[in-house]
Amino acid sequence: MIATALDHFTAPPSSTLLGWRLLDARPEQGWVRIGFDGKAEFCNPAGFIQGGILSAMLDDTMGPAVFVMTEGRLYTATITMTVNFLAPAKPGPIFGEADVTQLGNTVAFVAGRLMAADGSALATATSSARLVETARAILRERRDVTAIGV
């Protein structure tokens, strides 16, 4: 697999919980493919992965597309995200793909999709995200953690 800025980025606990792993990337195109674990613990009473979990997977796919496209210089803070649920997601491997559709000076627009292991579409999303310098975002996070004593 190609080297990306994500190779030196520690995944946050929420991404780890989702089983997040980078599978492929084309940084120059702003495209990523991410793998997730659709755990039984994520299911609603009907036995399907809960929509909020799928939304988190989409968010954790679209942000990294911007990160790799900008070689780790820019971090995203989601402004809006519209999700379309296309089919029930069963427990098992789930794959996300995202494309940066437009990268501005302060805002990025990204499209994402989730698929089951057989390639069937589960959900799609579009997002607008505020662009923040990664060094500034990480510094702010460290100050916030220190302030609350974690």
Q: Give dist(CA 124, CA 147) in Å, integer.
A: 37
pLDDT digits (tens, 9 = 90+) for 24-46: 999 999 999 999 999 999 999 99
Amino acid identity at 93? P
Judged against a pLDDT cut of 70, whether residue 139 lies above it is answered with no
Q: pLDDT tens across 59-89, in order? A: 999 999 999 999 999 999 999 999 999 999 9
Supply the pLDDT for residue 4: 84
Cβ atoms 22, 16 nearer than 8 A: no
- DSSP letters, the chain, are ----GGGG-PPPHHHHHHT-EEEEEEGGGTEEEEEEEE-GGGB-TTSSB-HHHHHHHHHHHHHHHHHHHTTTSEEEEEEEEEEEE-SPPPSEEEEEEEEEEEE-SSEEEEEEEEEETTS-EEEEEEEEEEEEEHHHHHHHHHHHHHHHT-
